[in-house]
Amino acid sequence: MTNAETQMTNDERRMTGGKSMSAKELNDLGVAAAQARQLREAAEFFRQATVADAGFALAHENLATSLSEQAAALFGSFAALDIPEGGKIDLADAKLKYASLFGHMLWMGLGAAAVFLLLSPLIKRWMHGVK
């Protein structure tokens, strides 16, 4: 029996209190035991994280938020239509603007995909065998 199976068996024993149970109850208990094991593993991971790790993660979160807001402003400027006071929207101009917007978004997406495709061997090497 592997360590994980032993742990699950011990969790099931602790949760049942030694009572006999139906197959459905045992299955539900197995799911609960697996969830308890996942929670223990997550708690161990966060126990090992340092304050510097948390700061690093929060800095990246703020950077990603900032970059996404800048991208939204850029896309908004592409989609902006100049409508004169009391005037109507020129549909031909709007079509050109939106075609330009979606064209830019297409090329930005394809460019990002190409960059990450080219970087994938380097990123894989940086992972040091992590799957």
In a domain, 126, yes or no: yes
- Full residue range of the structural domain in which residue 123 is found: 84-131
Instruction: Give the count of domains, the chain.
Output: 2
pLDDT for the residue numbered 15 = 58
| Any domain includes 31 | yes
Residue 54 is assigned to a structural domain of this protein:
yes
Tokens 């075609």 found at: 99
pLDDT value of position 4: 47
Which is higher by pLDDT, 129 or 58? 58
- Confidence band, pLDDT 50/70/90 cuts, at residue 28: low
Q: Is the pLDDT of residue 12 over 70?
A: no
> For the residues 7-27, what does the mean pLDDT come to?
59
69, 99, 116 - which closes a domain: 69
> From CA 112, how far away is CA 97, in angstroms rounded?
22
Q: Which of 69, 93, 114 is the last residue of a domain?
A: 69
Examine residue 76 and state whether it is found in any structural domain, yes or no.
Answer: no
Same domain, 114 and 50: no
Q: 112, 93 in Cβ contact below 8 A?
A: no
Question: b vs e for 101-115, b when ≥16 Cβ sit within 10 Å of the residue's Cβ?
Answer: beeeeeeeeeeeeee
Q: What is the pLDDT of residues 53-71, one digit of tens each?
A: 878 888 999 999 999 999 8
Residue that terminates a domain, selected from 40, 69, 98? 69
